[in-house]
Amino acid sequence: MITVENLHKSFGESHILKGVSTTFESGKTNLIIGQSGSGKTVFLKSLLGLFTPEQGTIYYNNQPYSQMTADERIELRQKMGMVFQGSALFDSMTVEENVMFPLKMFTNQSRSEMQDRVDFVLKRVNLVDAHNKLPAEISGGMQKRVAIARAIANKPKYLFCDEPNSGLDPKTAIVIDNLIHEITNEYNITTVINTHDMNSVMEIGEKIVFLSKGLKEWEGSNKEIFKTDNEAVTDFVYSSELFKKVRQMYIEERD
Amino acid sequence: MKYLHAIGSYFLMIGNVFYKPTKWSITKNLILKEVEDLIYGSLGIVIFISFFIGGVVAIQTALNIDNPLIPKYLVGFATRQSVILEFGPTFTSIIMAGKMGSYITSSIGTMRVTEQIDALEVMGINPLNYLVLPKIVALMLYPFMVATSMFLGILGGWAASVYGGYTNSADFIQGVQSNLIPFHITYAFIKTIVFAFILATIPSYHGYYMKGGALEVGKASTTSFVWTSIVIILLNYFITQLLLG
């Protein structure tokens, strides 16, 4: 579980996060949504410890990150998996080497144990024939799957994803969404996803945090987002005609 | 102020390179890869340039000796002195600032742009130790490259002198062997070690702290080459003044 209390972050004169508080529970797919410039990426990178907030506290399983020692922080980071927007695969390594990387770094497993784990996670993300390919030789969707496999290889407790669907076709995007959702439930991981994709919001958003201008404007589940009257949320989520019609149908059905 | 900030950041980076070391089994492989990329991969150009520059130095010296009282062995002597004192360590390092330096800056810069460095950091790995330390260790083999450059420079000088008809082989070899001060070799290799450290760290600094996209990677490589060359030339002056002045 991750608890965020009154998080503030500025860059020079611009105050990006203005006191965000929320809780992300384990075993749930938590989504952060909001317009470009709303502070989603800064929020996610603050959770990862890549940015140091000026004010506020982040608790990992009730332990404040700011009070952890350097060794405790290293230990915590080894329990984190991250899927970057551009996948961030090491381009000089093959798919297999990328997935094996955290195992080589942080475990004392034998080569055969590591190989078994790599085979297992690659199979789990439906990639069985790409072991020896370089990231540049596979498609964007496959790269995302390799990034997920690398993120879960060392059995993380926390999984962070920055725009995991960006640049993917709708069908692959759904496959990636479902995969993250299944893995979250299966391994009881605390998953936090930063997304613009409304399909993801509707499909896997067990907890949604809507950020606007550095503030938490709304939070709830994908079921509750249909019912909300918060204008900022409805303007953002139902900005397309299709979603407007879907919502209208839902309201009419409800009434 | 901007330059002071950059100098401060550079020294902080050096400190962080040695903090939180990566597992030896991983570092060992990274060092071997860097030896292949940086040292072995640069040998061809060093061999080519050294041989021909050595030849040119010998020809220029021979052409400028028109006084019959000056002995012919001076061609070999001047070639040896030029190659050992300056061409081998300094000129090769300037060339390597372009070859190795731009490779280091662009490879680390690309990792920055594509969030691979963030990925290392999120995993709890010290990216500076992972990326820069193997380069520093690999470049401790740089003196071998410079020694090769010195040997081939003198060999090029001998070939140009003898086959160009400027002097005979015996005179050239006599020149190469005469009045050798062993400390000059020590001085040359002290410089080489210092330059090796500069070649590994300044381009790494420019790649690691670059901001922006693909275009900025190119700009960072150019800036890195300029600053690596400037620092090498300044240090060359100070080391020479300190050790030979």
pLDDT in tens, A120-179: 989 888 888 888 999 999 988 889 889 989 988 888 899 999 888 887 788 878 888 888
CA distance A151 to chain B (A): 9
Identity of residue B25: S
The A190-194 sheet, strands edge to edge: A80-83, A158-162, A190-194, A29-33, A207-212, A215-220
Contacts of B34 in chain A (CB under 8 A): none
Would you state the pLDDT for residue A254? Answer: 66
| Residue B64 pLDDT exceeds 90 | no
CA distance A175 to chain B (A): 23
Residue B15: inside a domain:
no
Residue B140: inside a domain:
yes
**For residue range B72-118, what is the model confidence (pLDDT) as tens digits?**
889 999 999 999 999 999 999 999 999 999 999 999 999 999 999 99
Would you state the pLDDT for residue B3? Answer: 87
Q: Which of B28, B107, B122 to mutate to test the interface with A (most CBs of A within 10 A)?
A: B122
CB pair distance less than 8 Å for B123 and A104: no
Q: Which residues contact A227 (CB under 8 A, 6 or more apart)?
A: A254
| Residue B143 pLDDT exceeds 70 | yes
| Residue B124 pLDDT exceeds 70 | yes
Residue B41: inside a domain:
yes
Please give the tally of structural domains in chain B: 1
Residue B6: inside a domain:
no
DSSP assignment letter at B21: P
Predicted confidence band of residue A255 (pLDDT cuts 50, 70, 90): low
Min mean pLDDT across A48-52, A177-181, A198-202 is at A198-202
CB pair distance less than 8 Å for A76 and B124: yes
ipTM of the complex: 0.81
| Residue A58 pLDDT exceeds 90 | yes
Would you state the pLDDT for residue A199? Answer: 81
Interfacial A residues in 71-130 facing B (CB < 8 Å): 73-78, 80, 82, 84-86, 88-91, 101-102, 104-106
State which of A106-110, A167-171, B39-43 shows the largest mean pLDDT: B39-43
Residue B17: inside a domain:
no
Contacts of B25 in chain A (CB under 8 A): 104
Q: CA-to-CA distance for A201 and A234, rounded, in angstroms?
A: 13
Domain of residue B131: give its range.
Answer: 22-244
Residue tagged 């390597």 (tokens): B96
Q: CA-to-CA distance for B13 and B166, rounded, in angstroms?
A: 51
CB pair distance less than 8 Å for A89 and B23: no
Residue B8: inside a domain:
no
CA distance B59 to chain A (A): 45
Q: Which of A46, A84, A144 to mutate to test the interface with B (most CBs of B within 10 A)?
A: A84
| Residue B33 pLDDT exceeds 90 | yes
A50 contacts chain B (CB < 8 A)? yes
Residue B180: inside a domain:
yes
Q: Compute the mean pLDDT over every residue in chain B, rounded to the nearest whole number.
A: 93
Would you state the pLDDT for residue B9? Answer: 93
Residue B198: inside a domain:
yes
Q: Could you tell me which chain A residue has the CA closest to the CA of B24?
A: A105
Q: Compute the mean pLDDT over every residue in chain A, rounded to the nearest whole number.
A: 87
Predicted confidence band of residue B47 (pLDDT cuts 50, 70, 90): very high
Q: Which residues contact A172 (CB under 8 A, 6 or more apart)?
A: A140, A141, A144
Average pLDDT over residues A21-47: 90
Min mean pLDDT across A232-241, B61-70, B152-161 is at A232-241
